[in-house]
């Protein structure tokens, strides 16, 4: 920790004492954390199929309350999203989400994964549809479902 000379304002000197991670650092840290999570929690599946350098990191969105995150495209419209959520009790925890296109072609379904076993169950369900989530028109299961009736249908 290095203090700035007195010709800087007190606020500048205070900020110099606070650790700061640039957007580039956050991107790199997010991509590394995602790859490491696959290495430790999905060693027999995702770690073997997703190369570490394919992850694209993104910095935090402070105003939106979003932590740094990373994504990787899996093909067929599927992708993984990884972030770390901070909780008072548990500290930082990994959150891995599989984002799956809907069979309607207009939306996606998010599936939060918590283990390799769950991943295998989800893949078993998705295989018959070639990696698409089956659209159920009556349910709000993807972003394509309108919240209000379409005027053309009235």
Domain residue ranges in the chain: 21-153
Average pLDDT over the chain reads: 84
Q: Which two tokens stand for residue 50?
A: 């997703």
Q: Which two tokens stand for residue 86?
A: 């901070």
Place of tokens 């009790």: 89
100 CB neighbour count, 10 Å cutoff = 25
Q: Which two tokens stand for residue 23?
A: 């957007």
pLDDT at 140 > cutoff 60? no
CA pair distance 35, 49, nearest whole angstrom: 11
- The pLDDT assigned to 55 comes to 98
Cα angle: 33, vertex 51, 101; to 5 degrees: 85
CA pair distance 141, 105, nearest whole angstrom: 13
Place of tokens 């070639």: 130
Structural contact between residues 115 and 41, judged by C-beta atoms closer than 8 angstroms: yes
What global pTM score does this model have? 0.78
- The pLDDT assigned to 90 comes to 74
């Amino acid at each position: 920790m290095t203090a700035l000379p007195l010709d800087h304002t007190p606020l500048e000197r205070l900020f110099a004492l606070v650790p700061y991670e640039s957007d580039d650092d956050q991107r790199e840290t997010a991509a590394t954390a995602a790859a490491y999570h696959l290495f430790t929690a999905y060693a027999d599946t995702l770690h073997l199929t997703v190369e570490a350098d394919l992850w694209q990191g993104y910095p935090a969105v402070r105003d939106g309350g979003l932590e740094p995150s990373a994504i990787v495209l899996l093909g067929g419209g599927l992708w993984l999203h990884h972030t770390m959520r901070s909780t008072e009790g548990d500290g930082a925890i990994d959150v891995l989400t599989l984002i799956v296109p809907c069979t309607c072609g207009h939306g996606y379904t998010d599936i939060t994964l918590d283990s390799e076993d769950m991943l295998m169950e989800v893949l078993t369900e998705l295989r018959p549809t070639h990696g698409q989530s089956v659209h159920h028109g009556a349910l709000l299961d993807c972003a394509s479902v309108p919240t209000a009736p379409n005027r053309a249908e009235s």
